[in-house]
Amino acid sequence: MQKIQIDAAGGYERLRLVEVASPPLRPGQVRVAVRAIGVNFADCAVRMGLYASAKRYVGWPITPGFEVAGTVAEIAPDVADFRVGEPVLALSRFGAYASEVAVPATQVVRYPAAWTPEQAAGFAVPYLTAWYGLCHLAGARRGQVLLVHSAAGGVGQALVQLGKALGCKVIGVVRGAHKLAPVRALGCDAVIDKGAENWLAAVKEAAPDGVDIALDANGVETLGDSYRLLAPAGKLVVYGFATMLSRGGNGRPNWLKLAWTWLRTPRFNPLDLTTENKSVLAFNLSFLFDKTEVLAEALQFLLPLAEAGALKPLATRTFALAQAGEAQRELETGATVGKLVLTVGQ
């Protein structure tokens, strides 16, 4: 089999395509012959050596990636829920940039028949992230006002669609005029291009009483303002720090920028949170793989909505597995819309 291997932290050149033996199939596992692989910002942080769970669970060398789609190639004797050859999507705590993965059966599900493998590969991480932040942590309810940063990206589009499916008013923030139409097409109530107007003033105009839930993976660039935009009893959900990462260039960590953004990152005082009646919630999906009941609950909620068409697969742009570095470079520009996907054997 083939996989992308990273031997040490660094730039895009660290993503090497190597030939290795197929992983052993252990009890309770399913082997998936991979057709497509979702690319996420977390994969870039792994390459840079900045992802805490990668250090905790794997170390170097590491194969990045969390989500794939393909067909069942082999089933452990104690697994009865799948048959060889059927299309599935699968979650993997790292190791997904590969032509095969062997993962617990609890992390494998069938996807809607109308979807392509590329669409299925881009579903799990964005929608699980959206569900966990919006439903599990923030408890979003019908009629609430949501603020979604980076609304044209994978998780952003998932948040917009899930928010609308829950009956919320959704305000999306993007950078770039080319991102406005795709987000509007998802039903977003107001879409703001922060490259062309004062996004903070525009959000206040769209939500004069404040927002009930702000979902922010930008980091220092917007966290403070997101918090200030909250209505009484509002919740800020933090799930990433994208503005800490390099933009373009060689893909290596910019340590001066990291230090400067870390120093400028807002610190939330519990006394202030109490008197202002606001909450700050944060999570990292890669630490939740042991919470099998939570992942099952999420998929049981999301997949019926997807089957019914209330949650649509994200628009994808594909790269060959050997082009993993090119895909990550493109993602880090911040100019992409929807989901980037690696393909195998096509």
Last residue of a domain, one of 268, 286, 304: 286
What value does the mean pLDDT take over residues 60-79?
98
Query: Do residues 119 and 129 both lie within one domain?
Result: no
Instruction: State which residues form the domain around 118.
Output: 2-123+313-343
Query: Do residues 74 and 161 both lie within one domain?
Result: no
Which residues is 32 bridged to in the sheet? Answer: 72, 101
Query: Do residues 327 and 220 both lie within one domain?
Result: no
Query: Do residues 273 and 150 both lie within one domain?
Result: yes
Asked if residues 4 and 15 have their Cβ atoms less than 8 Å apart, the reply is yes
Query: Do residues 183 and 279 both lie within one domain?
Result: yes
Query: Do residues 252 and 103 both lie within one domain?
Result: no
Query: Is position 219 within any domain?
Result: yes
- For residues 299 and 109, what is the distance between their CA atoms, to the nearest angstrom? 8
Query: Is position 238 within any domain?
Result: yes
pLDDT the model gives residue 85:
97
Q: Structure pTM? A: 0.96
Query: Do residues 279 and 133 both lie within one domain?
Result: yes
Query: Do residues 187 and 259 both lie within one domain?
Result: yes
Q: CA-CA distances (angstroms) from residue 47 to 64, 80, 322?
A: 8, 36, 15
pLDDT the model gives residue 204:
98
Nearest in space to 191 (alpha carbons), one of 237, 148, 227: 148
pLDDT the model gives residue 254:
85
Asked if residues 328 and 248 have their Cβ atoms less than 8 Å apart, the reply is no
Query: Do residues 62 and 166 both lie within one domain?
Result: no
Query: Is position 239 within any domain?
Result: yes
pLDDT the model gives residue 248:
59
Nearest in space to 111 (alpha carbons), one of 320, 302, 298, 343: 302
Check pLDDT > 80 for residue 275.
yes
For residue 247, name the pLDDT band (cuts at 50, 70, 90): low
Query: Is position 171 within any domain?
Result: yes
Sign of CA dihedral 321, 32, 291, 165: positive
Asked if residues 39 and 331 have their Cβ atoms less than 8 Å apart, the reply is yes
Query: Do residues 130 and 117 both lie within one domain?
Result: no
Query: Do residues 225 and 206 both lie within one domain?
Result: yes
CA dihedral 249, 180, 121, 165 (to 10 degrees): 140
Cα 334 to chain centroid, rounded: 14
What's the CATH code of the domain at 71?
3.90.180.10
- Quick one: 122 exposed, middle or buried, by C-beta within 10 A (0-12, 13-18, 19+)? buried
Instruction: Extract the tokens encoding 152.
Output: 């044209």
- Residue for token pair 């107001």: 190
- Quick one: 92 exposed, middle or buried, by C-beta within 10 A (0-12, 13-18, 19+)? buried
- For residues 228 and 20, what is the distance between their CA atoms, to the nearest angstrom? 51
pLDDT the model gives residue 256:
86
Number of domains in the chain: 2
What's the CATH code of the domain at 135?
3.40.50.720
- For residues 346 and 152, what is the distance between their CA atoms, to the nearest angstrom? 27
Helices assigned H by DSSP within the chain: 41-48, 52-57, 117-121, 124-131, 154-165, 180-184, 199-206, 223-228, 255-264, 270-276, 292-307, 324-332
- For residues 14 and 305, what is the distance between their CA atoms, to the nearest angstrom? 39
Query: Do residues 91 and 75 both lie within one domain?
Result: yes
Check pLDDT > 90 for residue 103.
yes
What value does the mean pLDDT take over residues 185-213?
98
What value does the mean pLDDT take over residues 118-126?
97
Check pLDDT > 90 for residue 345.
no
Query: Is position 292 within any domain?
Result: no
Query: Is position 253 within any domain?
Result: yes
Nearest in space to 66 (alpha carbons), one of 33, 85, 41: 41
